[in-house]
Amino acid sequence: MREADFELIDRFLQGDGTAFDELVRKRQREVYNLAYRMTRNAEDARDISQEAFLQVYRKLRGFDRRSRLSTWLYRIVVNLCLNHLNRSSRSPHFLGDQQPELADPSEGSLGRLEEKERQDALARAIETLPPQQRASLTLRVHHHLAHREIAEILGVSEATAKVHYFHAVKALRRKLANLREGA
């Protein structure tokens, strides 16, 4: 994968514009998915995805290849998402209409919630996470990155990246446990 990516970059730098098309097509879904999971908003995810590839286009020549292309790309996406979340000073899209805490004991235990309800509850819980924790969780669980790579993306130490991830999981556990206990 790494070699294939570098080959695409070489082709692009040699003037083969179809290489950039290939790169976009190859990576667009994972970029969009990452942006969506960070913002929880389709429109924001689309804008961020486009902006990310625009930055790739601008900066690809300066990519030093010390990391994988995907790591570099994710870093761009995550930074855009963090900036977006900081700018909007609200965590995700539908938080304005929702209570960040999940606990509605009348809904019953986690085990008895319908699938959609559980996923909605989880989504809301994720949206209450600080952005860096959310990024760590997403990159780890959905993009299967090592903590070392996540650290590189977030610009923190590996230990800090792990802490973000563990805090995220524990926070979700607490929030979902509220439901269970309230049953």
| 119 near another protein, judged by CB under 8 A | yes
Q: Which residues contact 122 (CB under 8 A, 6 or more apart)?
A: 172, 176
What token pair was written down for 118? 């559980």
| 171 near another protein, judged by CB under 8 A | no
- Among the listed ranges 29-37, 65-73, 76-84, 93-101, the one in contact with another protein (CB under 8 A) is 29-37
- Among the listed ranges 67-75, 76-84, 101-109, 117-125, the one in contact with another protein (CB under 8 A) is 117-125
- Among the listed ranges 12-20, 69-77, 83-91, 99-107, the one in contact with another protein (CB under 8 A) is 12-20
What token pair was written down for 14? 């040699």
Nearer to another protein, 21 or 104 (CB): 21
| Segment (H or E) for 153 | helix 147-154
Backbone φ/ψ region at 156: left (φ over 0), alpha (ψ -120 to 50), beta: beta
- Among the listed ranges 32-40, 64-72, 79-87, 89-97, the one in contact with another protein (CB under 8 A) is 32-40
Q: For 179, what's the count of Cα atoms within 13 Å in the CB-facing half-sphere?
A: 20
Name the 3-class secondary structure at 41: coil
Q: Measured between alpha carbons, how far is 98 from 95 in angstroms, rounded to an integer?
A: 5
Other beta carbons within 10 Å of 42: 12
Q: Measured between alpha carbons, how far is 146 from 82 in angstroms, rounded to an integer?
A: 20
**Which of 1, 62, 64, 116 lies at the binding interface for another protein (CB under 8 A)?**
62
Nearer to another protein, 4 or 141 (CB): 141
Nearest approach, Cβ of 45 to another protein (angstroms)?
8
Residues that bind another protein (CB under 8 A): 12-21, 24-25, 28-29, 32-33, 36-37, 42, 46, 49-50, 53-54, 57-62, 118-119, 122-123, 126, 137, 141-142, 165-166, 169-170, 172-173, 176-177
